[in-house]
Amino acid sequence: MSPSPSKMEQYWKKNLQTLAILLFIWFIVSFGFGILWVEELNTIRIGGFKLGFWFAQQGSIYAFVILIFCYVIRMNKLDKEFNVNED
């Protein structure tokens, strides 16, 4: 049984919302904190790191990993909710 077109549209819309939020964070942690505002953030220190430098060489990568797993969890939930999951 395939889902009805209106349900399908809703599912797609929620998917796009999820993507927009996650990609916004993706942009901020790398291009924002690591590149555009790196100098401002470098005035803040965490341990032996300048914060901007830390985001560019460490923090952004951790954030990327977390983002993908958030996406996985969110989409699995969404798939179930709309009954489009596999098995």
Partner 1 sequence: MDLLTWTYLLVGLSFALYIGIAFWTRAGSTEEFYVAGGGVSPLANGLATAADWMSAASFMSMAGIISFSGYDGSVYLMGWTGGYVLLALLLAPYLRKFGKFTVPDFVGDRYYSNKARVVAVICTLFISFTYVAGQMRGVGIVFSRYLELPIEWGVVIGMAIVFFYAVLGGMKGITYTQVAQYCVLIFAYMVPAIFISMQLTGNPIPQLGLGGDIAEGVPLLDKLDGILGDLGFGEYTTGRKGTMDVFMITLALMVGTAGLPHVIVRFFTVPRVRDARLSAGYALVFIAILYTTAPAVAAFGIYNTILSTSEKPIAELPTWVRNWQQTNLIQIEDKNGDGKVQYLPDPNTNELRIDKDIMVLASPEIASLPNWVVGLVAAGAMAAALSTAAGLLLVISTSVSRDLFKTFRPDISDKKELRIARLAAGGAVLLAGYFGINPPGFVAEVVAFAFGLAASSFFPVILLGIFSTRINKEGAIAGMLTGLTFTISYISYFKFVAPELNTAAHWWWGISPEGIGSLGMALNFLVCFGISYLTPPPPKKVQQLIQEIRIPKGAGKAADH
Query: Which residues of this chain interact with partner 1, rule CB under 8 A?
Result: 2-3, 8, 11-12, 15, 19, 22-23, 26, 30-31, 34-36, 38-39, 42, 46-50, 53-54, 56-58, 60-62, 64-65, 67-69, 71-72, 75-76, 79, 83-87
* Contact of 42 with 54, CB cutoff 8 Å: no
E strand spans, 9-84: 45-46, 49-50
Rounded to a whole number of angstroms, the minimum distance from the CB of residue 87 to partner 1 is 7
Supply the angle between the helices 5-27 and 60-81 in degrees, to the nearest 10: 170
Rounded to a whole number of angstroms, the minimum distance from the CB of residue 67 to partner 1 is 5
* Residues composing the chain: 87
